[in-house]
Amino acid sequence: MLAGCRRALPAALSRALQGRAAGPGRRAVSTSWCPVGAAFDVKQQRQQQPRGSAAGRETGLFGVPELSCPEGFQEAQDKALQESEQLVQKACSAPPGPETVMIFDQLSDSLCRVADLADFVKIAHPDFAFREAAEEACRNIGTMVEKLNTDVELCQSLRRLLTDEVVINSLDPETRRVAELFMFDFEISGIHLDEEKRKKAVNLNVKILDLCNEFLTGAHLPNKIDKRVLPEHIWCNFSAEGNYLQIAGLHADCPDDLVREAAYKIFLHPNTEQLSRLEELLASRNSLAQLVGYDTFAHRALQGTMAKNPETVREFLEKLSDQLSKRTQKDFEIMTKMKMKLNPQNSKLMPWDHPYYSGLLRAERYNIDPGLYCPFFSLGACMEGLNSLFSQLLGINLYAEQTQKGEVWSEDVRKLAVVHEMEGLLGYIYCDFFQRPDKPHQDCHFTVRGGRLKENGEYQLPVVVLMLSLPHSARGAPTLLSPGMMENLFHEMGHAMHSMLGRTRYQHVTGTRCATDFAEVPSILMEYFANDYRVVNQFARHYKTGQPLPKNMVSRLCESKKVCAAADMQLQVFYAALDQIYHGKHPLKKSTTEILKETQEKVYGLPYVPNTVCFRNHLQLKTWWMPLFQTSTRTLKHLSRTHKNIQQN
> Residue-wise over 576-606: b if at least 16 C-beta within 10 A, else e?
bbbbbbbbbebebeeebbeebbebbeebbbb
Q: What is the C-alpha separation between 244 and 255, in angstroms, rounded?
A: 23
Could you tell me which residues come within 8 angstroms of residue 28 by beta carbon, excluding any fewer than 6 positions away? Answer: 424, 425
Residue type (1 letter), 80: A
Q: What is the C-alpha separation between 168 and 175, in angstroms, rounded?
A: 9
Nearest CA-CA partner of 143 in 73, 93, 209:
209
- Give the Cα-Cα-Cα angle 39, 44, 50 (nearest 5 degrees): 120
Strands 396-401 and 424-434, how do they pair?
A: unpaired
Q: Is 505 exposed, middle or buried (0-12, 13-18, 19+ CB in 10 A)?
A: buried
- Give the Cα-Cα-Cα angle 497, 116, 189 (nearest 5 degrees): 110
List residues bridging with 150 in a β-sheet.
none
Distance from CA of residue 504 to its chain's centroid? 22
Strands 463-470 and 396-401, how do they pair?
A: unpaired
Provide the 3-class DSSP secondary structure of residue 128: helix
Residue 318 is a catalytic residue: no
Catalytic option among 135, 261, 401, 492 = 492
Per the CB < 8 A criterion, the answer to whether 318 and 325 are in contact is no
Active site residues: 492
